[in-house]
Structure 1
Amino acid sequence: MAAGPAPAPIVAPTRQQTGAAAEDAALAYLLGQGLQLVARNVRTPGRGGGEVDLILREADGTLVFVEVRARRSARFGGAGASIDARKQQRVALAAQHFLLTQGGPMPPCRFDVVLVGPARDGAAGNTLQWLRAAFDV
């Protein structure tokens, strides 16, 4: 009896794949809440700058700069634990760079965070938590 091909090894998603999937989930959720996408993955030029995962606009014109954080487990404080003051400053730097490139009057702005983590109690899927005005800089 001939053996079939060996099954492909199960490979865990990379951090980049996990992050991209979390950003996609966050974007779908925020669009469903009525926000409009302005830009994704906006970076400052050069090394050592910052990045904004999502930039959206609310119906009243407020620009919402969104940091998306994903964790595969709640160990080490979960997804929100990694958004320290340094990370907030880097997001703010990228937001400032974006605003300077847009010209025109300065719209109202807000910094939000979307946390994506594993479902509780072993349930399938992920949880998503939207924290409006999560930090000020």
Structure 2
Amino acid sequence: MPTARAQRGAAVEAAAQAYLCSAGLTPVTRNARYRGGELDLVMRDGDTTVFVEVRYRASAGFGGGAASVDLRKRRKLLLAAQLFLMAHPALADRPCRFDVIEASGEPPRLNWLRDAFRLEDC
């Protein structure tokens, strides 16, 4: 049985996916696990493959969710994205970007940070 934290995380990811779909993105997959990391959401924005990290904070007292996507986390996401693209060669030649969805409070308020970081930042 999933823990309360895992259930909250799944609910926030589902809310983030619904939010992105309402903005015109289409889902590719959720919770893609690879050696060294997990991709919360993979979406399509037109021809662009979007890797979305969803970060929930009960409050912003210790910094928002984007602040927790530090260099170490960005490198893990980059590795997971590379492995995802190797497993899905049809998407490998398309543009990619990394977005972050910050979620805080109950019910969660979502803040979408498009192009939150780039390959050069890692």
Equivalent residue pairs, number = 116
CA distance in 2, matches of 1:82, 1:58: 24
TM-score, scaled relative to structure 1? 0.79
> What secondary structure does 1:86 align onto?
helix
User: What percentage of aligned pairs have identical amino acids?
Assistant: 51
Once the two structures are TM-superposed, the CA of residue 17 in structure 1 deviates from its matched residue by 1.8
Residues in 2 aligned to 1:111 and 1:66: alpha-carbon distance in whole angstroms: 6
Query: Is 1:132 paired with 2:114?
Result: yes
How far did residue 19 of structure 1 move?
1.2
Q: CA deviation at 1:78?
A: 2.6
What SS does the corresponding residue of 1:133 show, helix, strand or coil? strand
Q: 2:81 aligns to what SS in structure 1? A: helix
Distance 1:71 1:113 in 2: 13
Whole-angstrom CA distance in 1 between matches of 2:5 and 2:108: 16
The alignment status of 1:92 with 2:73, answered yes or no, reads no
> Aligned-residue CA RMSD in angstroms?
1.5
Give structure 2 stretches of 5+ with no counterpart. Answer: none
Runs of 4+ in 1 over 3 A off after TM superposition: none
Q: Which residues in structure 2 correspond to 1:37-116 (within 5 Å)? A: 37-45=27-35, 49-59=36-46, 61-104=47-90, 106-116=93-103
Which structure's residues are more often strand, by fraction? 2
In the alignment, the residues of structure 2 paired with residue 38 and residue 26 of structure 1 have an alpha-carbon distance, to the nearest angstrom, of: 14
Q: Where does structure 1 lack aligned partners over 5 or more consecutive residues?
A: 1-12, 119-123
Displacement of 1:75:
1.9
Q: How far did 1:79 drift?
A: 1.9
- Higher relative helix content: 2
1:35 counterpart letter in structure 2: L
> Equivalent residue for 1:9?
none
